[in-house]
C-alpha cells in the first residue's frame, strides 16, 4: 500500500510533472550535462555577467578587507547592519532618485514579507492572476482580503478599484513588470493612472526580470516608462541580471522605517553576507555602463519572437524571456530533449510553475549569446 507521499509522487510521474534536481556543471554561458556542452537558455543571468572572470578580478582588487566576510552572523536589527548594507541602500536610492531603499536576503523574503507587513483586514489586495508564487505566498500570509484580476486586464482592475475603494482603508495593486513565464511587459503607466484615481490606492511592482535589462540606466521597466516616482513599492531582485543574491525595495522613507519595524522576513533572518552586498554595490555602480548588452539582448528577443511569429506560433512576450507554449507536459519534455540533442539547454516549465495545460519551453536569452548562436537556435526551431 502506497503512503500519501508515494501516491502523490506517482500521480506527478504519470502527468509528466515529476521534478528531479538536474545534475549540471557550468562554464559561463555553457552547461555541461550528460557529458555534452550545451548553450544555457534556462538561467536568469540575463546580462551574462555571473561568470565574468575579469569582473570578479576587478571586484577583488577593490574589495575592502572589512567587507570580505562570508557571514553577517546576525540580523540587521542586531549586529548584522554592516556599513556596506547602508552603502548599497544609499546607492539604490540615488540611482532610482527615491527617498530610500531597503534590501532583503532574497526575492522570496521580499515578496512574502512586505505585503503581510503593510496590510491588515481593512486592506484589499488586487493582484494580477499570473504573479509569481512568492507574491501569492505573501498575499496568503497577509490578513488582507484579496482578488486576483485577469492577467493584464486593466479594465477589470479599474472596475474593481472603483467598486471597492470606499469599503477599504487601502487598496494595494500588485503586479510584475516583466512576467517571469510569459515575458510580457506590463503597462505600468496605466496602473499608475488607476492608482491615481483614488488617494487610498498603492502600487507594488516586482521588477525581478527587468532590473538590469530594461531602461536607459538598467533600472527596469519603471525607468523605461518614466514612472519610478509613482510606484509605492518598486521592488527587484539581485539574483538574475545583477548576478548576485538578494532583493530590494525603493520607497518613501516612512515606508522603509515601517518595514524595518514590522516586516518579519526582514527582522527575523540573518542579513546577507557583507561580501555579497559589496558585490551587489559593485554591479549597480557599473549598471548604467552595460547599455550595449541591454540593447543586444533586446534585439535578440525581438528576433526570436519574430521567428516564432513567422512559424505562426502565438507569443505574448515583449522581452528577452520568450516562451514556446506546448501545452502537454510530456510533449514539452520531448521537445526540450530534442533541443538538447542539438546543443541547447532549455528546460520544460510545467505545473505548478505554470497553469495546467500550458507547459512550455521558456527561452531565457542572455547578452553573451552571439548572432550565430541565435541563428542556429532559430534554424533548429524551424
Ligand atoms: N519575484 C519574481 C517575479 C521571480 O521570478 C522570483 C524568482 N524567480 C522571485 C521574485 C524570487 O527571487 P529570489 O530568487 O531572489 O528569491
Cα(209)–Cα(236) distance, rounded to whole angstroms? 8
CA 287 to chain centre: 17
Mean pLDDT of the 237-264 span: 98
301 with 167, same domain? Answer: no
For ligand 1, say whether the CB of 85 is within 6 Å of any of its atoms: no
Out of 42, 108, 131, mutate this one to test ligand 1's pocket (max ligand atoms within 8 Å of CB): namely: 108
Out of 111, 112, 347, mutate this one to test ligand 1's pocket (max ligand atoms within 8 Å of CB): namely: 111
172 with 294, same domain? Answer: no
Q: Is pLDDT above 80 for 231?
A: yes
| Domain assignment of residue 46, yes or no | no
109 with 146, same domain? Answer: yes
Which CA distances in Å does 363 have to 10, 39, 355? Answer: 28, 11, 18
| Domain assignment of residue 186, yes or no | yes
Condensed to tens digits (0 to 9), the pLDDT of residues 154-206 reads 999 999 999 999 999 999 999 999 999 999 999 999 999 999 999 999 999 99
Q: How far is the CA of 237 from the centre of ligand 1 (A)?
A: 7
232 with 157, same domain? Answer: yes
Q: How far is the CA of 379 from the centre of ligand 1 (A)?
A: 31
| Domain assignment of residue 127, yes or no | yes
32 with 72, same domain? Answer: no
Condensed to tens digits (0 to 9), the pLDDT of residues 299-344 reads 999 999 999 999 999 899 999 999 999 999 999 999 999 999 999 9
| Domain assignment of residue 101, yes or no | yes
Condensed to tens digits (0 to 9), the pLDDT of residues 35-84 reads 899 999 999 999 999 999 999 999 999 999 999 999 999 999 999 999 99
CB within 8 A of 208, min separation 6: which ones? 107, 132, 176, 180, 235, 236, 237, 240, 247
**Closest ligand 1 atom, CA of 44?**
8
151 with 106, same domain? Answer: yes
Q: How far is the CA of 166 from the centre of ligand 1 (A)?
A: 33
For ligand 1, say whether the CB of 182 is within 6 Å of any of its atoms: no
187 with 313, same domain? Answer: no
Q: Do residues 228 and 249 make contact, with C-beta atoms less than 8 angstroms apart?
A: no
Count of other CB atoms within 10 angstroms of residue 106: 18
The neighbouring-strand residues paired with 171 are 124, 201
DSSP state of 340: H
Q: How far is the CA of 179 from the centre of ligand 1 (A)?
A: 11
149 with 226, same domain? Answer: yes
**Closest ligand 1 atom, CA of 235?**
1
Residue with CA nearest ligand 1 atom 7: 107
Task: Please report which confidence band the pLDDT of residue 91 belongs to, taking 50, 70 and 90 as the band edges.
Answer: very high
The neighbouring-strand residues paired with 362 are 323
Q: What is the pLDDT of residue 82?
A: 98
Which residue is listed with cell 492608482?
Answer: 195
Strands 123-128 and 145-149: parallel
Mean pLDDT of the 351-355 span: 88
C-alpha cell at 100: 530610500
pTM for the full model? Answer: 0.96
| Domain assignment of residue 47, yes or no | no
Is residue 209 helix, strand or coil?
Answer: coil
Q: Is pLDDT above 90 for 258?
A: yes
Q: Tell which residue, 226, 282, 228, has the closest CA to residue 250.
A: 228
For ligand 1, say whether the CB of 106 is within 6 Å of any of its atoms: yes
Q: Is pLDDT above 90 for 135?
A: yes
Cα(80)–Cα(160) distance, rounded to whole angstroms? 42
Is residue 176 helix, strand or coil?
Answer: strand
CB within 8 A of 164, min separation 6: which ones? 124, 171
Which residue is listed with cell 483586514?
Answer: 121
For ligand 1, say whether the CB of 206 is within 6 Å of any of its atoms: yes
| Domain assignment of residue 244, yes or no | yes
Mean pLDDT of the 93-119 span: 98
Out of 43, 110, 113, 132, mutate this one to test ligand 1's pocket (max ligand atoms within 8 Å of CB): namely: 132
Q: How far is the CA of 225 from the centre of ligand 1 (A)?
A: 22
CATH code for position 211: 3.40.640.10
Task: Report the complex ipTM.
Answer: 0.99
Q: How far is the CA of 207 from the centre of ligand 1 (A)?
A: 9
339 with 375, same domain? Answer: yes
303 with 351, same domain? Answer: yes
Q: Do residues 194 and 223 make contact, with C-beta atoms less than 8 angstroms apart?
A: no
Domain edge (last residue) among 267, 287, 307: 287
Mean pLDDT of the 263-267 span: 98
Sign of CA dihedral 114, 120, 122, 127: positive
For ligand 1, say whether the CB of 134 is within 6 Å of any of its atoms: yes
Cα(5)–Cα(197) distance, rounded to whole angstroms? 49
What's the number of domains the chain is made of? 2
Q: Do residues 237 and 194 make contact, with C-beta atoms less than 8 angstroms apart?
A: no
Residue with CA nearest ligand 1 atom 10: 107
* 243 membership: H or E segment, kind and range: none
| Orientation angle between helical segments 253-262 and 107-118, nearest 10 degrees | 100
Is residue 47 helix, strand or coil?
Answer: coil
| Domain assignment of residue 2, yes or no | no
Task: Please report which confidence band the pLDDT of residue 234 belongs to, taking 50, 70 and 90 as the band edges.
Answer: very high
245 with 370, same domain? Answer: no
Domain edge (last residue) among 242, 258, 287: 287
Task: Please report which confidence band the pLDDT of residue 382 belongs to, taking 50, 70 and 90 as the band edges.
Answer: confident
Q: Tell which residue, 249, 313, 244, has the closest CA to residue 92.
A: 249
Q: What is the pLDDT of residue 1?
A: 75
For ligand 1, say whether the CB of 72 is within 6 Å of any of its atoms: no
Report the chain's mean pLDDT, rounded to a whole number: 96
Q: How far is the CA of 137 from the centre of ligand 1 (A)?
A: 12
| Orientation angle between helical segments 274-286 and 83-96, nearest 10 degrees | 20
Domain edge (last residue) among 240, 270, 287: 287
Cα(274)–Cα(67) distance, rounded to whole angstroms? 5
For ligand 1, say whether the CB of 175 is within 6 Å of any of its atoms: no
The neighbouring-strand residues paired with 205 are 175, 234
Count of other CB atoms within 10 angstroms of residue 335: 19
Structural domain that includes position 34: 8-40+290-381
Residue with CA nearest ligand 1 atom 14: 107
66 with 103, same domain? Answer: yes
Q: What is the pLDDT of residue 22?
A: 85
For ligand 1, say whether the CB of 176 is within 6 Å of any of its atoms: yes
DSSP state of 271: P
Cα(281)–Cα(262) distance, rounded to whole angstroms? 26
Q: How far is the CA of 180 from the centre of ligand 1 (A)?
A: 9
Q: What is the pLDDT of residue 23?
A: 84
| Domain assignment of residue 52, yes or no | no
Backbone angles phi, psi at 361, to 5 degrees: -95, 130
CB within 8 A of 16, min separation 6: which ones? 328, 329, 330, 332, 333, 350, 359
Q: How far is the CA of 231 from the centre of ligand 1 (A)?
A: 19
Mean pLDDT of the 18-27 span: 88
CATH code for position 295: 3.90.1150.10
Amino acid at each position: 500500500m502506497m503512503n500519501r507521499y508515494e501516491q502523490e509522487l506517482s500521480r506527478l510521474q504519470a502527468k509528466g510533472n515529476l521534478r528531479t534536481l538536474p545534475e549540471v556543471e557550468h562554464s559561463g554561458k555553457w552547461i555541461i550535462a550528460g557529458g555534452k556542452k550545451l548553450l544555457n537558455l534556462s538561467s536568469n543571468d540575463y546580462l551574462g555577467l555571473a561568470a565574468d572572470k575579469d569582473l570578479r578580478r576587478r571586484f577583488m582588487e577593490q574589495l575592502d578587507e572589512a567587507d570580505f566576510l562570508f557571514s553577517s552572523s546576525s540580523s540587521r536589527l542586531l549586529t548584522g547592519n554592516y556599513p556596506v548594507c547602508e552603502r548599497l541602500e544609499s546607492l539604490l536610492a540615488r540611482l532610482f532618485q527615491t527617498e530610500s531603499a531597503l534590501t532583503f536576503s532574497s526575492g522570496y523574503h521580499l515578496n512574502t514579507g512586505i505585503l503581510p507587513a503593510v496590510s491588515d483586514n481593512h486592506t484589499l489586495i488586487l493582484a494580477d492572476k499570473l504573479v509569481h508564487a512568492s507574491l501569492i505566498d505573501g498575499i496568503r500570509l497577509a490578513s488582507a482580503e484579496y482578488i486576483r484580476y485577469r492577467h493584464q486586464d486593466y479594465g477589470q482592475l479599474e472596475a474593481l478599484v472603483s467598486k471597492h475603494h470606499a469599503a477599504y482603508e487601502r487598496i494595494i495593486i500588485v503586479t510584475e513588470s516583466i512576467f517571469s513565464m510569459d515575458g510580457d511587459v506590463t503597462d505600468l503607466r496605466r496602473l499608475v493612472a488607476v492608482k491615481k484615481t483614488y488617494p487610498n490606492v498603492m502600487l507594488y511592482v516586482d521588477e525581478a526580470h527587468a532590473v538590469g535589462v530594461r531602461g536607459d540606466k538598467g533600472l527596469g521597466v519603471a525607468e523605461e516608462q518614466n514612472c519610478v516616482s509613482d510606484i509605492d513599492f518598486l521592488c527587484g531582485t539581485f539574483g538574475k541580471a545583477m548576478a548576485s543574491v538578494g532583493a530590494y525595495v525603493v520607497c518613501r522613507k516612512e515606508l522603509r522605517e515601517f518595514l524595518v519595524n514590522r516586516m518579519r522576513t526582514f527582522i527575523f533572518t540573518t542579513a546577507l553576507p557583507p561580501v555579497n552586498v559589496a558585490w551587489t554595490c559593485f554591479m549597480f555602480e557599473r549598471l548604467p555602463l552595460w547599455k550595449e548588452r541591454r540593447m543586444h539582448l533586446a534585439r535578440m528577443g525581438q528576433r526570436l519572437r519574430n521567428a516564432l511569429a513567422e512559424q505562426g506560433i502565438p507569443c505574448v512576450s515583449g522581452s528577452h524571456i520568450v516562451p514556446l507554449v506546448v501545452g502537454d507536459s510530456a510533449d514539452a519534455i520531448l521537445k526540450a530533449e530534442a533541443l538538447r540533442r542539438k546543443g541547447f539547454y532549455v528546460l520544460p516549465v510545467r505545473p505548478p510553475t505554470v497553469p495546467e495545460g500550458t507547459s512550455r519551453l521558456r527561452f531565457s536569452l542572455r547578452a553573451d549569446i552571439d548572432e550565430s548562436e541565435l541563428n542556429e537556435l532559430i534554424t533548429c526551431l524551424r
